[in-house]
Amino acid sequence: MNTPRPSSSKRPPQGRKAKPRRQLPLLLGGIVVLGLLAVAFVAGAQTNSDSSSPQALPSVSNGDDAQPALELARRVADDPTALGATDAPVVLIEYADYRCPFCGVLSRETLPELVAEYVESGQLRIEWRDNPIFGETSVMAAVAAHAAGEQGFFWEYNEAVYASAPETGHLEIDSDKILDYAREIGVPDMAKFEADLVSPELYERVQLNAQEAQQIGVTSVPSIVINDVAIAGAQPLQVFRDVIDEQLRLADQ
């Protein structure tokens, strides 16, 4: 996704050069000690739902006391996992897994267009949510992206992973690739990055995102919520435009 950091115009190179391999024997062990997110995630989730149409999120109802639809947008200033103004009238939240091929399609083909058309004009904010349902290495990638984000490189890392993803099947990720992506995008402090790979705090961020996905009934990746409208799968760009435009129209009323 073409999402440069505000403080830098540096873009990751299109191809990755071969680099000396460095094993991280403690990486997997550290994540195991923290606990495997994978076993807690939605079992047997679908990877895409091409036939799904946008649906309004249901209101929360308790007897006669009806509540508005859940407010999922966080709108946290300086959130490294978000793009766009905190006061944008429309917020798009993406629940995704780094090993999901359809999430890769969304990252490469759709989100850059939405950034150019809506984020840069202040109409749309994009917020990321981890939903690593494809096992332990999906958790590794999610934690690594947050580790890059600690140094201001979250979206560069996100893009680098999806740029290498196959069009079909799940991306294979190991500890070497985790480091290669960081070097590729120029993470400045690799020692800190490696230490953050086993950070309980970053692991908890991933876990909380995944728990939120479960709580609202997300059963596929990518799943997108635009204000109170849910979209399942990597739908065509025009589907997203239509929903965003409608939400902008409602916001102006």
What does the pLDDT look like over 239-248, one tens digit per residue? 999 999 999 9
- Taking residues 38-61, what's their average pLDDT? 42
pLDDT at 153: 98
What is each CA distance from 216 to 193, 211, 220, 236, in whole angstroms? 32, 9, 12, 23
Q: Which domains does the chain have, with CATH numbers?
A: 46-252 (3.40.30.10)
pLDDT band at 191 (very low <50, low <70, confident <90, very high): very high
Mean pLDDT of the chain: 81
pLDDT at 219: 86
> For 69-78, 107-116, 133-142, which range has the lowest pLDDT when averaged over its residues?
69-78
Q: Are strands 55-56 and 229-232 parallel, antiparallel or unpaired?
A: antiparallel
